Amino acid sequence: MDKQDTHLTSAEIANLWTSYMNNSMSIVMLSFMLQHIQDKEIKEAVQKSYDIAQHYQEETRSFFEAEACVMPDGFSEGDVHMDAPWLFSDIFCLTYVHHMSKVGMINYSGFLGMSRREDIRSFYTRLLSDTSSLYNQTTETAVSKGIHATYPYLEIPKEQEYIEGKQYLSGLHPLRNKRALNAVETAYLYMNILTNTVGEKLAIAFAQTSTSKEIQDYMIRGKDIATKHIKIFASTLQENDIVAARLPDLGVSSSTTRAFSDKLMMFHMSVLTSAGTGNYALAAASSLRTDLALNYERLSLEVARYAKSGVEIMIKHNWMEQPPKTADRDKLSRKKV
């Protein structure tokens, strides 16, 4: 292989940088959770998540060192107060790891598809496999404890059907009844209820433990957005006589003691909003009823505005690390003049 072919591509650098940032955040969050979890099976699942993040963080670091590439600061022990009282219930911790493993599977499959070097592909193949195993473990644990959020059931179809007219796509006409939701649309509505529920509870925990009014206000705004979106998706299901299955009780304690740095909390919300925007885009593209697609687009804009406000806060406080960038050719040229 030509020497130039061994260099990391822009995609590989970007993906390793993102992996390092996300894993460093996960290590801090999970280390705090682990010291308070009482349930043995739940603790095993959270410990597995922590071990995966630690192991692959070391591998990510080795890639940066081998390429003499500067590593991001990420997050460390200075971003968590381990002596703070418990903040999350055991059920929340399990649901959190379950949710983040789904986010990880989506990210890592994308990173794998963008990688060329064999060692990078091997890295993301193993990471995707371990994250999938974690997802299965958290699912099995939740099912065994009767706390798994089950998607709505639909009648099993007995015969093949084809769409017979453009009215199948309608949904905006005020004088026409909307057609019933199909299975795909139902699944995405419920999925977005689940993801917003995790974000809602996390925003509550971050709001009540931050000492900054600016951060408190931002987190409360995020909680309100998540609550609003949950109601919209749930009401759409109810209009079709579909009752969203019972969600697990994602308890957050009443502690107001600072547990995490504001920098970490703001970064975590940016990760969640990014994942949420991706979920909405996929749901919009998969929903054939016009009103559903437009709803997702409208709500995505609200999330985008919220995310932009978060970025502005992070930049203001010098909390936002700049991703690797391409060379400014004009600036390099002017240096010679």
Q: DSSP 3-state assignment of 260?
A: strand
Give the pLDDT of residue 337. 52
Q: Is residue 306 part of a domain?
A: yes
CA triple 86-146-237, angle to 5 deg = 100
Domain match, 212 and 306 both: yes
- Which CATH number do you get for residue 21? 1.20.1260.10
Note whether residue 160 is domain-resident.
no
- Cα-based distances in Å from 230 to 35, 217, 241, 310: 31, 20, 17, 21
| Run of H or E including 9 | none
Residue 163 · residue 150 · CB < 8 Å = no
Domain membership of residue 166 (yes or no) is no
Question: What is the CB neighbour count within 10 angstroms for residue 61?
Answer: 16
Query: Mean pLDDT, 10 residues at a time, over the chain (337 residues)?
Result: 68 96 98 96 98 97 93 95 96 96 96 96 98 98 92 88 87 72 95 95 97 98 97 94 76 94 98 96 95 95 97 97 73 59
Number of domains, the chain: 2
Query: Does residue 312 form part of some domain?
Result: yes
Region for 74 from its dihedrals, namely left if φ exceeds 0, alpha if ψ lies in -120 to 50, beta otherwise: left
Cα angle 259, 260, 261 (rounded to 5 degrees) comes to: 135
Cα–Cα distance for residue pair 275/25, rounded to 1 Å = 15
Q: Kindly state whether residues 136 and 219 are assigned to the same domain.
A: no
Are 190 and 136 within one domain?
no
Q: What is the per-residue pLDDT for 3?
A: 44
- 136 and 188 share one domain: no
Domain that holds residue 130: 9-144
H-run or E-run covering 42: helix 40-66
CA distance linking residue 55 with residue 50, whole number of Å:
9
DSSP string, 205-256: HHHHH-S-HHHHHHHHHHHHHHHHHHHHHHHHHHHTT-PPPPPP---B----
| 143 token code pair | 């099912």
Q: Note whether residue 149 is domain-resident.
A: no
Q: Are residues 202 and 121 in the same domain?
A: no
For residue 335, being part of any structural domain is answered with no
Same domain? For 131 and 198 the reply is no
pTM for the model stands at 0.91
Instruction: Compute the C-alpha angle 227/230/236, nearest 5°.
Output: 145
Output the pLDDT for position 5: 60
Same domain, 182 and 310: yes
Assign 166 to helix, strand or coil: helix
Length of the chain: 337
